[in-house]
Structure 1
Amino acid sequence: MAKVKKHDVFIDMTAMSDVTVLLLTFFMLTSTFLPKEPVTGINAPASVKDIKVPDYNVMNILIDLKGKVYLNIDRPEVKLEALDRMSKQYGVTFSDQQKKVFVEQPYIGVPISRLPALLDLPMSDQDAHMRQYGIPSDSISNQLTDWIQIARDIDSDMKITLKADQTTPYPIVEKVMKDLVKIKANRYSLVTVLKGAPDGF
């Protein structure tokens, strides 16, 4: 019986690895990264509505379990202009370095008077400092609506989203919603987690 000689099979994987790297690069460049939130563990309520929240030109309002409010303005130029106007309105000055850090910090989360001290802290300590305060949104000083109004004056096309934990007491969320109505910011999106539609839909 004749022996069958086995030959080693060589498969060139260069083309496959090139395609993999190209796909990975494509997804990295086209992905939109969510800003880091100052508070963790916010579980948005579930909803069956499937409407995508805008990825750009958005103000995100975040409410934690204790009712503290934080604001993210996603466009750096609008955020910096809003800071200049707020500093004039409240008589608080900022150095160039503080302004640079302000643009890098995703969320605004302290009263304007405490903002310079926050911006002097290392970035790693800023979230813990913000969790102690939040933006004032009471009847004495409603700086949240001031930030939103100023940002909308700069760009009237900015969208607003509102995110709170599913266990956050409703009166806390309702107060922020009423504040938005007072400044005629009646169109905003509630951030929810998509769940399956109930039976019968």
Structure 2
Amino acid sequence: MSKVKVKKQDTFIDMTAMSDVTVLLLTFFMLTANFIPKEPIQVMTPASVSEVKIPEYDVMTILIDPQGQVFMNLDRPDDKRKVLESIGKQYNLTFTPKQILSFVNQTHIGVPISRLQSFLDLPLDEQDEVIKKFGIPTDTIISPNNQLAVWVTTATEINENLTIAIKADQSTPYALVKNVMSTLQDLKKNRYSLITTLKTMPAGV
């Protein structure tokens, strides 16, 4: 007696719903992601086992490279605009709307205040190259008013909720980092974080 052959049928799976879910998830992550701002110099942070997270908003980041150049970032565009206007009043400088927009679009503050107007007149791509040559003056001998202190004081007066974070390269000499911390201590800004790379906790600890 011959066996009855069952005709095979192709299985059809409708993937439309899966595609819709994928697009929705992708859109969600794109809208909620926090993009890391570009930095004027590359910094490799030291490793640490600390897991204390820095807030996502209202953060002032002070960047220190191995040569001791200092740059500062404010995460809120409105804060940056107000800080620039305040700096202009303190130093008797007038900024055009174009210069203000340029300042807001540039992620980091990193030139002497005396050069600020000419710096902001440059195209954005040229600013990225020029800023690497300067940094905010922090030496009280060269710059009697210590311009880092001016920027920090002005920014914290504009936004009292700012969290201060220091991000230094792992090869930056401690003396250069201490110089920045001393400036903060002189301003009575004793609460700040050090940005590090998370490493695994040693076994048995």
Among 170, 173, 185, the residue aligned to 2:174: 170
CA RMSD of aligned residues (A): 1.1
Q: Distance in 2 between matches of 1:113 and 1:200?
A: 54
Alignment-derived partner of residue 77 in structure 1: 78
One-letter amino acid of the counterpart of residue 9, structure 1:
T
Aligned equivalents of 1:2 and 1:77: distance in 2?
78
Superposed, 1:153-192 pairs within 5 Å as 153-192=157-196
Q: Residue in 2 aligned with 1:105?
A: 106
- Tell me, which stretches of 5 or more residues in structure 1 are unaligned? none
Output one character per residue of 1:96-118: Cα deviation in whole Å (capped at 9) or x when no partner: 11101111111001011111222
Distance 2:13 2:26 in 1: 22
Displacement of 1:138 in angstroms is 1.1
Structure 2, unaligned runs of 5 or more: none
Shift of 1:92: 2.3
TM-score by length of 2: 0.94
1:190 Cα deviation (Å)? 0.1
Q: How is 1:71-150 mapped onto 2 (pairs within 5 angstroms)?
A: 71-139=72-140, 140-141=142-143, 142-150=146-154
Determine the structure 2 residue equivalent to 1:198. 202
Per-residue deviation, 1:197: 1.2
Cα deviation for residue 26 of structure 1 reads 1.1
Q: Which region of structure 1 is more displaced relative to structure 2, 132-141 or 164-173? A: 132-141
Q: CA deviation at 1:91?
A: 2.2
Structure 1 residue 93, shift from structure 2 partner: 2.0
Bigger CA radius of gyration = 2
Segments of 4+ moved more than 6 angstroms: none
Matched residue, 1:6 = 8
Aligned residue type for 1:172: L
